[in-house]
Structure 1
Amino acid sequence: MNTQQTNLPEMTLVPVGLVQSSLKVPSLKVTRENLELKPSMEELKQQQREIANTLSEIVIFKQWEPLLKGIEAFSHILVLYWPHLIDPEKRNLEQVHPMGRKEIPLQGIYATCSPARPNPVLVSAVQLVGREENKLIVKGFEALDQSPVIDIKPYSAHYMKKENLVFPEWMRKINEELGI
């Protein structure tokens, strides 16, 4: 869709920082057909446990440092970031088998957490361990090293807590298998 034809504004995102993490390689490989699971489910569980205990730094570029004032008063933050290792040609996937599992019927990209999306903006809720000037130390962040950070918001249960959530059976099963 051409934004000029629909009178929508042009949208520009600018990175406000970068992730520094020991996580260097994605756990899932993006292909045109689907997301193929590289590791076994047991290996994926181990990766999830490692991510949960990983400390990462979000280094905010100096010109944006004043925007961090007060963030250290929160225990958790939402981080919006760009999965920079996704091949731009793979961003036109329409449907995938969630987590590469062929026994799960194809789902539309918007019904999954696949990073292969038209606008691959990902979001994670992470524990904020501390702040050192323009660096935020976070725990449990799955973003890979050098991922551009787009935005940060405080996590607020008041705004984000929803009750009576409904999930499809396939997602409930995956979460149960991962111990989430």
Structure 2
Amino acid sequence: MTTEGPRLPTVELTAIGRVSSPLTALTDAPRQPDEGAPAAWLELDPALAPALAGVEVGDAVVVLTWLDRADRRTLAVHPRGDLDRPLLGVFATRSADRPNPVGLHTARVVAVEGTRVRLDHLEAVDGTPVLDLKPALGPVEER
């Protein structure tokens, strides 16, 4: 008898671009966008220009990133790194360290220049791979 779980499929993703941000070190990045995240650019692959049709200044968007500097072996953390808080499984937190470090960011488009999209705030560090850009559903708070 085996105690292994079911064999899960492997998923392959291709980045559509990269973040261009003044944040260059993980220690400089705020944990959430409302904690001082700066404006940043998404620099997308030029071949994807047609995919930006309809993305306009003022749009609320959700950006999915691959947090490539995360520790994928981490399964439990003290929320916000606070050792006084109880240890929780990463699926109960917003920790970047997790088995699949997909970043989820909400922002507002402030400029579109070719295949570059400027967002009003983004807590991802410079060079972070961008996986997808989607319109946000429902209200996005002004920051």
What TM-score does the superposition give when structure 2 sets the normalisation length? 0.84
In structure 2, runs of 5+ residues without a counterpart are none
AA paired with 1:81?
T
2:59 alignment partner in structure 1: 75
**Pair 1:58 & 2:58 matched:** no
Which of the two has greater helix per residue? 1
2:13 alignment partner in structure 1: 13
Name the SS for the 2:104 alignment partner: strand
Alignment CA distance shift 1:75-1:14 (3 Å): same
CA contact (8 A) 2:57 2:109 kept: no
The root-mean-square deviation of aligned C-alpha atoms, in Å, is 2.8
CA contact (8 A) 1:84 1:147 kept: yes
AA paired with 1:95?
A
What TM-score does the superposition give when structure 1 sets the normalisation length? 0.67
CA deviation map 1:99-153 (0-9, x unaligned)? 1111110011000010011010111001110101100010110010010000010
Residues in 2 aligned to 1:154 and 1:44: alpha-carbon distance in whole angstroms? 22
In structure 1, runs of 5+ residues without a counterpart are 29-42, 161-179
Larger relative contact order (CA 8 Å, sep ≥ 6): 2
Q: Which has the larger radius of gyration?
A: 1
Alignment CA distance shift 1:44-1:73 (3 Å): closer
CA contact (8 A) 1:74 1:154 kept: no
**1:73 deviation in Å?**
5.9
Name the SS for the 2:11 alignment partner: coil
**Pair 1:122 & 2:103 matched:** yes
**1:75 deviation in Å?**
2.1
CA contact (8 A) 1:74 1:155 kept: no
- The count of aligned residue pairs is 136
